Chain A
Amino acid sequence: MECVEEGGRILTICNACRYCEGYCPVFPAMESRPQFTRSDLYYLSNLCHNCGECYYACQYAPPHEFAVNVPQVLAQIRLESYRHRAQPRFLAGLFGQSGKLALAASLVSAVVGLALSPAYGANFYDIVPHAVMAAIFGAAALLVTAALTASAAGQFTGMPKLNLPALARAARSILTLEHLSSHGAGCTYPGEHHSMARRWFHHLTFYGFLLCFASTCVAAWYHFALRRLAPYPYWSAPVILGTLGGAGLLAGPSGLYWLKRRRNTALADSSQDSFDVTFLALLFAASLTGLLLLALRQSPVMRPLLIVHLAIVLALFVTLPYGKFVHGIYRAAALLRYAIERNAGRQT
């Protein structure tokens, strides 16, 4: 509750100033609200891309006595909004604990996997039978999707009526990360000077993730529809998609981590470091073990590598609804709401 009050105090100052109006959607969206309720602040906090531009431009930033620090307070409110909307409710406390959860899940599944799987095998399915793999990950995927859908549903309550131009507009914002470019100059991250680095590293991460997801879908189609069994040749679609995606997930998260380490701490919410880093580390580790597995799938280390890779992917799965991954859903919903409001504003 505390950060929501502080957010209200700060945005009251912003609303009387408005110098940052041209930077990003947060400020026009703020100006169109008569007061700042908790749900307004949740919305605005998820609209914020944490670029820092408004902090450096602020005549009231600390050490000014008004101590206006929009990126920091919105980061705090954003985490609270995740927690507030998390489903099922009794797991909401896992926000902020995703590092421990990931570690526990990967360790337990690695130990169980090593204990139960046969010591030798010619291919993946000799070690972990396809049915077992599909059952475990299928069940995890179902639970994770249910939890994510239930918590994301809160984002859409009170959402104005959807229309196609708004949907297209929001899709553009999401897919291009236009709000990390500050009208082409690049955003003020990690420091005061404009840079496109964060946008490009995020693109590598996001599209890497999508390519890996596509690789998995194609592989499932091969397996179930075409009855073609893994391992697939190097020039097959699942391997090419997975390798490209994996490369993105090595470069993207390491770049984002490298930038994060250089971030000006004055405007960050440092209590969220482990929250952010856990997701980056899981993506990186899943990709690294996956690529190693591809390279060494004929060698004796295949078995431990496979178990470790599956353990990490499982940990990535179970932490999805309670970790940094949700920012994608919440921000997409906020951008969609903004696009609809903006469209409506134009028509009136």
Chain B
Amino acid sequence: MAENIFESDVAVIGGGNAGLCAALSAAEAGASVLLLESAPAEFRGGNSRHTRNMRTMHERPMGALTGSYPEEEYFQDLLRVTGGHTDQNLARMVIRETSPSADWMVQHGVRFQPALGGTLSLARTNAFFLGGGKALLNSYYHAAAKRRVRVVYNAEVTELHIRDGVFESGIAMVNGVPAVFRTRALVAAAGGFEANLEWLQQAWGPAAQNFLVRGTPYNRGTVLRLLLDRGAEPVGDPTQCHAVAIDGRAPKFDGGIVTRLDCVPLGIAVNQHAERFYDEGEDLWPKRYAIWGRLVAQQPGQIAFSIIDSKTMGKFMPSVFPPFKSESIAGLAAALGLPPDKLACTIANYNRSVLPGKFDPQSLDDCHTTGLTPPKSHWALPIDTPPFFGYPLRPGITFTYLGVKVNERAAVKGIRNVFAAGEIMAGNVLGKGYLAGFGMAIGTVFGRIAGREAARGVR
């Protein structure tokens, strides 16, 4: 049984961005490090696999980042999306640390590139990783190997022995065989519980079974649950998750970026009764797409359909699944499984209420409806030019908000030698809403702190 016992100074649970930043920092501070990743090597990295940038504070142009993005503006952006659900001290610390962290990332093999096509709105605020999040992870794993971090894949932690508020050891199922790990400090960087549909069902009821999970199937919240059950103080709304509307044909897990659909504001969205249910043109899509997960989740069967005509086809980022297509509304209704008469009626009503205007998908234009409920405030053009196109929409969960409370040393409140980084503690600073590239900022900054602090404790 000797091979089933791991001993080292620090154990890191989770092999995503936060876990790797912690492992690298702990190893560089002189600690021997064990990293337990629940996924197999090919799917390592949690949801960081699907990321592509980090929101980064900078006072002047920095690398590929244009202009400046000062602390105060960054902080105000965060306040706006969270509605104040943030620990202001921790939030400001994360924001300030993103700048030096970008240099640290480069030292550990990460390469940056200019903002990608179709994402120019982020060129000033977000530093893009060359090749995306998986390339970043590959660099970190390479750096970790050089620093003799012991990485164990297929290792799902199932038990943590915590006595009198001190972590002593844990059990991980490694390829299905139990193994004990005994370390002097622990970094929990194991993500949230968004891939655990049973857990989500507690808040969402049976509807949760129809949710799609945009990221890794390995974020089942096991470590989060263990920590909360063993005395860690919780933070964040336990019922809430961040969900966007994605193509309904996406895989159940791990569909990532390509399943997004940007056509919603350009057409109308109907539920399975062919009824509209929300103002599709309320605001620019990047500011609105995060509410559409919830909107679709509230529809019967947790499904909706975005319908456009040939006038707007091709005016949005190409999507991965081809649209359903028909020369007639009735044909499209048949293809989408919608009641044809009702869909014809909904579209006719909508078309009648559209006022003339100057269509511009890039700005809040003056194309809107009158006397329609719900209204369409922008980009309202009649749907009258065949062929007609339809895309099914489903809620796609990105992350959950519930986490463990930490202090500025990344120490988990309630357990002395446990530190946390990444999504498992993101609720401290992002209690609500979403800010592009902020998850990677939290993971990187807190990962580095957690690794350093965990190593400090063992020397």
User: Which A residues are within 8 Å of any B CB, using their own CB?
Assistant: 12-13, 15-23, 28, 31, 34, 53-54, 56-66, 183, 185, 192-193
Contact = CB atoms under 8 A, between A and B. Distances in A.
A22 B114 contact: yes
A21 B320 contact: no
Contact of A56 (B114, B135, B251, B319): B135
A57 B134 CA distance: 5
Contacts of B138: 56-57, 192
Contacts of A34: 314
B111 interface: yes
B15 to A, nearest CB: 15
Interface residues of B, number: 31
Most buried by A among B52, B254, B258: B258
B254 A22 contact: no
A235 B128 CA distance: 55
27 contacts: A12-B318, A12-B320, A15-B318, A16-B319, A17-B132, A17-B256, A18-B116, A18-B118, A19-B116, A19-B135, A20-B131, A20-B132, A21-B116, A22-B113, A22-B116, A22-B128, A22-B130, A31-B117, A57-B131, A57-B132, A59-B134, A59-B254, A59-B256, A63-B42, A64-B43, A65-B251, A183-B130
A17 B257 contact: yes
Contact of A16 (B130, B131, B257): B257
A59 to B, nearest CB: 5
Interface string B28-71: 00000000000000110000011010000000000000000000
A185 B50 CA distance: 23
A22 B131 contact: yes
B393 to A, nearest CB: 16
Nearest to B53: A19
Interface string B297-339: 0000000000000000010011110000000000000000000
B447 interface: no
Nearest to A63: B42
Given A65-B251, A193-B142, A57 B135 contact: yes
Nearest to B50: A59
Contacts of B318: 12, 15-16
A60 B116 contact: no
B133 interface: yes
Contacts of A56: 131, 134-135, 138
Contacts of B142: 192-193
A56 B114 CA distance: 20
A28 B320 CA distance: 17
A345 to B, nearest CB: 12
Contact of A60 (B118, B130, B256): B256
Contacts of A62: 42
A56 B141 CA distance: 13
B111 A19 contact: no
A25 B111 CA distance: 18
B317 A21 contact: no
B116 to A, nearest CB: 5
Most buried by A among B133, B251, B260, B320: B320
Contacts of B254: 59, 64-65
B131 A54 contact: yes
B151 to A, nearest CB: 15
A185 B134 CA distance: 17
Nearest to A64: B254
A16 B317 contact: yes
Given A13-B258, A16-B318, 10 more contacts: A16-B260, A18-B118, A19-B52, A19-B131, A57-B134, A59-B134, A59-B254, A61-B42, A63-B42, A183-B111
Interface in B249-281: 251, 254, 256-258, 260
Interface string B343-378: 000000000000000000000000000000000000
Given A31-B117, A56-B138, A63-B42, A19 B320 contact: no
Nearest to A65: B251
B52 A16 contact: no
A59 B116 contact: no
